[in-house]
Structure 1
């Protein structure tokens, strides 16, 4: 593949990351609206978010197989288009069972898009011979920043139905324009794991890497699902002000992720992960102890700065495991990471209904601190240059 095609493919996959983050960010300000529409308790909302996660995780092993057989580009093309359109179902539901069905469908294609775009980003890294995963996730955070920031204002001014229509139209147009420019990676022959074995990869390190992904993703998911409700119900913030929690979190993540590839190339994956874990732990601790919405929002922003490059480094390590295709490694890491997030929302809702959100955010600060002891497990993220490049 020519360097020009790889460079164009790099921006195409970046656009997919932006759209995926934009869809997730747009969902964040809709959550308090869903609570009001269906008169949900924290526990009920936790179960509803659990359903959303079930849809995402259910398709990830299948996506790993499809990516190994057909390549990430074709899977990403289909998933991105359907994901953009499926957001409309979240506001069209008038009964709780319809909302459940809409969340499963939206979550499934959001998850399919997630794993396929990460696998394609690994292919881009191999083609260019340098790290692009952090900046790719930076576009995801930028999309989340735009989606959450504009979402609260648009819902307050035009209503949640009009907001959903704008989200679908914008996302659909963007993916249709950019999807033709995605690169095609070289696929392993004889099986998804590159050794002729069918089924799950046999390399144990990819599963341990998935565990690190879980520890990094749980706090991020907690902020997405609960930060707005935390500010609104426990601190008395309005809808627009409450949505700033995830907006500030995504914005700070975007800034740090755009600098993340340079930091990773300078310090290495292990040291970058350690430094990031320290900042993330301090931020999450501050969010749990903050006395006001403004200070909590600032703390969430600090946490975002730390978490920013943790997930991209872990995903790059999973996609560059020796002897595994990017799809195989990525499917394991994302499935383990998101599987844990399935349990977390309902558990957080159950606990928050009885104790409030403060103990929850303090507990997640301890989880982020534990990543510091596991940092050596991401050394494979520094082996991009010795991996086979993408195909033509």
Structure 2
């Protein structure tokens, strides 16, 4: 494949990751505004956010088969379109204070995110395989984190300027539409649908991947890290406002500190993986994230909360990209395994954190986030499954059987 085509596709997938981060962070950094405009309690806000998670979980299984049959760019652009539609509808729901409309809007946003995120991870793993890069996926996720920094700062700025969240959503929806059109025009050869067995029976191959012990252990590891990341994304700003009594823009800045640390961790993480290996990096990362959560929970000043956010972000940085890279060790089954890992990761990332709102009503949201520590322990233990497999080990694990179940 011409190097120019690969370079263009690499730029396109960087754009997809970055745009995803900007959109999501700009929205979640203003979660307190959603609760205020709809007059919701902590538990009510958590239940509303479950609609976002329900949409994402609905889209995740569909994304794997869609990428196998049609190619990743279609998955990305359809996902962006659904997310943009959801943002428009959310602007209507918030402007009219209609809770059912806001819930439907969040479902559409989540559905779009599920398609978008699995598709871009599959395309990213393909590009990484073509160029032979072990560090591309961490850099792509660093681009996503950089996008979340931009989105969080944008959210903080607009909150400080008293711009209504509905107006912000209208502008973001228009921007996403333009990005989808651009990505569709620039993506080329690495986005082709799968050939061979994957094209003939994508659903069967995907089902078989859900029964592979190593794939599921990698998924368990990614699940813990993704839950830690998702909890910070959805609740760290609220913890500053509700638990520490800080202003909304201060909460958004704490979220920006978290994602800035995550971005730095992903930019530097590829070199650490090359030197110390996947397993060591993930286990140290789990320890850092756990320390960060404990500092946020136990702190009594905003300064301590910021320190905890930085540790939390640095620790959560490498779980998802290393897990995706491990799932893609075997090129023949990379796409379906990446789809499985992405599904587990994003289900935890989006589905778990809203449930903390229920615990928040009972114990306070600052204490409720201790649940993240419980998720990081199995992630630490399962990290060994990410060890790089040789081609001989992969063939042995499959038993050299050609069918999808092998």
Of residues 140, 143, 146, the one that matches 1:139 is: 143
- Gap change, CA 1:220 and 1:53, over 3 Å in 2: same
Cα contact 1:189–1:196 (8 A) shared by 2: no
Query: Displacement, 1:192?
Result: 6.1
- Gap change, CA 1:118 and 1:201, over 3 Å in 2: same
Residue 314 of structure 1 is matched in structure 2 by: 323
Cα contact 2:217–2:382 (8 A) shared by 1: no
Q: Deviations over 1:225-271 (max 9, x none)?
A: 11111110121111111111221111111122122222222322222
Residue 105 of structure 2 is matched in structure 1 by: 102
Q: Deviations over 1:99-125 (max 9, x none)?
A: 111011111001110000000000011
- Gap change, CA 1:196 and 1:115, over 3 Å in 2: closer
- Gap change, CA 1:164 and 1:262, over 3 Å in 2: same
Cα contact 1:281–1:365 (8 A) shared by 2: yes
Residue 349 of structure 1 is matched in structure 2 by: 357
Cα contact 2:229–2:349 (8 A) shared by 1: no
Of residues 150, 153, 160, the one that matches 1:149 is: 153
- Gap change, CA 1:196 and 1:154, over 3 Å in 2: closer
1:12 lines up with 2:20 in the alignment: no
Residue 122 of structure 2 is matched in structure 1 by: 119
Residue 243 of structure 1 is matched in structure 2 by: 252
How far apart are the structure 2 equivalents of 1:185 and 1:311? 24
Query: Displacement, 1:49?
Result: 1.1
How far apart are the structure 2 equivalents of 1:99 and 1:243? 22
Cα contact 1:138–1:257 (8 A) shared by 2: yes
How far apart are the structure 2 equivalents of 1:342 and 1:141? 16
How far apart are the structure 2 equivalents of 1:111 and 1:211? 18
Q: CA RMSD in A?
A: 2.4
| Secondary structure in structure 2 of the residue aligned to 1:200 | helix
Cα contact 1:23–1:87 (8 A) shared by 2: no
| Secondary structure in structure 2 of the residue aligned to 1:114 | helix
- The worse-fitting range, judged by mean Cα deviation, of 241-250 and 2-11 is 2-11
Q: Deviations over 1:181-203 (max 9, x none)?
A: 33325614234698994551243
Query: Displacement, 1:360?
Result: 2.6
1:201 lines up with 2:208 in the alignment: yes
How far apart are the structure 2 equivalents of 1:52 and 1:118? 20
1:193-272 alignment to 2 at 5 Å? 197=204, 200-202=207-209, 203-272=212-281
Cα contact 1:195–1:323 (8 A) shared by 2: no
Query: Displacement, 1:3?
Result: 2.6
- Gap change, CA 1:206 and 1:80, over 3 Å in 2: same
1:1-392 alignment to 2 at 5 Å? 1-93=1-93, 94=96, 95-131=98-134, 132-157=136-161, 158-182=163-187, 183-185=190-192, 187-191=194-198, 197=204, 200-202=207-209, 203-321=212-330, 323-326=332-335, 328-341=336-349, 344-380=352-388
Cα contact 1:194–1:325 (8 A) shared by 2: no
Q: Deviations over 1:289-313 (max 9, x none)?
A: 1111232122112211111111111
- Gap change, CA 1:199 and 1:118, over 3 Å in 2: closer
How far apart are the structure 2 equivalents of 1:343 and 1:86? 18
| Secondary structure in structure 1 of the residue aligned to 2:194 | coil
Cα contact 2:278–2:386 (8 A) shared by 1: yes
Cα contact 1:3–1:128 (8 A) shared by 2: no
Q: What residue ranges of structure 1 are gaps of 5+ in the alignment? A: 388-392
- Gap change, CA 1:195 and 1:229, over 3 Å in 2: closer
Cα contact 1:57–1:338 (8 A) shared by 2: yes
When normalised by structure 1's length, the TM-score is: 0.90
Query: Displacement, 1:20?
Result: 0.6
| Secondary structure in structure 1 of the residue aligned to 2:50 | helix
How far apart are the structure 1 equivalents of 2:223 and 2:236? 19
| Secondary structure in structure 1 of the residue aligned to 2:173 | helix
- The worse-fitting range, judged by mean Cα deviation, of 220-229 and 263-272 is 263-272
When normalised by structure 2's length, the TM-score is: 0.87
